[in-house]
A = this chain, B = another copy of it.
Amino acid sequence: GDIAAGREAARQCMACHGLDGLARQPDAGNLAGQTEIYLREQLKAYRSGKRRHPQMNVIAQGLSDEQIEDLAAWYSAIEIEVRMPE
């Protein structure tokens, strides 16, 4: 997918997931650094209804395959570093 196009498409995701992929809502997932495969599969599952969520099913039904590829490219391009508690 196209990262720049994905960043643009992510404007509809920002309210819950952030442009940076850090969840802004407690029941939303972090998308930052998820793999392209994972992001593609989840968006397609929301689009087909295989995975159910009131807002995500509606949003995903408005996404083309190309937009799914671009969103997967954007969020997977975000680098993440982790620090485990001692």
B26 touches A38 (CB 8 A): yes
Copies in the complex: 2
A51 to B30, CA, bound (A): 18
Per-position contact with B for A67-86: 1 when CB-CB < 8 Å, else 0? 00000000001111111110
Partner of A27 from B26, B27, B41 at Cβ < 8 Å? B41
How many residues of A sit at the interface, in one of the four size bands? Answer: 20 to 34
B33 touches A82 (CB 8 A): yes
Partner of A21 from B20, B52, B82 at Cβ < 8 Å? B82
Contacts of A34 in B (CB 8 A): 23, 29-30
A28 to B35, CA, bound (A): 8
Per-position contact with B for A5-42: 1 when CB-CB < 8 Å, else 0? 00000000000000111110011111011110110011
